[in-house]
Amino acid sequence: MALSEKEIEHVAILARLEISAAEKTRFGKELGQILDYVEKIKGLDTSRVDPTASVLGDEDVFREDAVRLFPGAAALLDNAPDKEGPFFKVKKVVE
């Protein structure tokens, strides 16, 4: 079942996407198809299967707690779209 225009608008706002009216209809239909497929999968009996949270396997991989400063911190700043002094600069945010 296609997603409603309102649902699509909500998701678009969350994803910071600007989409046209035509796209709303198209995405509503396409996402609806995907969700229908998920519904179909849900019909399977998974009562004896653990939920998959990861495909990496259950091995813990740890890093020891040691500081190693990254030498290219300044380059990270230089790569940013905008900066001021030692800061990344973004559009004004008011909370």
Partner 1 sequence: MSPEIFETVIGLEVHIQLGTESKLFCACSARSFGAAANSNVCPVCTGQPGALPALNRRAVQLAIRAALALDCRVAPRSVFARKNYFYPDLPKGYQISQFEHPYGLGGALEIEADGRVKKINLERIHMEEDAGKLMHDIGGEKLDGSLVDLNRAGVPLIEIVSKPDLGAPAEAYQYLTTLKTVLQYVEVSKCDMEKGEMRCDANVSLRPKENHGGRLGVKVEVKNLNSFKAVQSALEYEIERQAKVLGSGGRVAQETRLWDADLRQTRCMRSKEEAHDYRYFPEPDLPPLAISAKWVEEVRAELPELPQARRRRLREEYGLSAYDIGVLTAQRALADYFERGMRSQTPPPSAKLLSNWITTELLGRLNAGNLEVAQSPVSTENLAALTALIENGSISGKMAKEVFGRMWSTGRAAGDIVAEAGLSQVSDDGLLRQWIETAIRENEKAAADVRGGKTRAVAAIVGAVMRESRGKANPAKVNQLILEILK
On the CB side of 86, how many CA atoms lie within 13 Å of its CA? Answer: 1
To the nearest 10°, the Cα dihedral for 8, 2, 44, 60? -20
Q: How many chain residues are in contact with partner 1, going by CB under 8 A?
A: 38
58 lies in the binding site for partner 1 (CB under 8 A):
yes
DSSP H or E stretch at residue 10: helix 5-14
CA–CA separation, 65 and 38 (whole Å):
41
Single residue of 22, 44, 49, 69 touching partner 1 by CB under 8 A = 69
Single residue of 10, 33, 34, 39 touching partner 1 by CB under 8 A = 10
DSSP output for 17-37: ----HHHHHHHHHHHHHHHHH
16 lies in the binding site for partner 1 (CB under 8 A):
yes
Q: How far is the CB of 67 from partner 1 (least distance, A)?
A: 5
Q: What DSSP character marks residue 61?
A: -
Nearer to partner 1, 22 or 94 (CB): 94
Q: How far is the CB of 23 from partner 1 (least distance, A)?
A: 20
- In the complex, the residues that contact partner 1 under the rule CB under 8 A are 10, 14, 16, 53-70, 72-73, 76-77, 82, 84-95
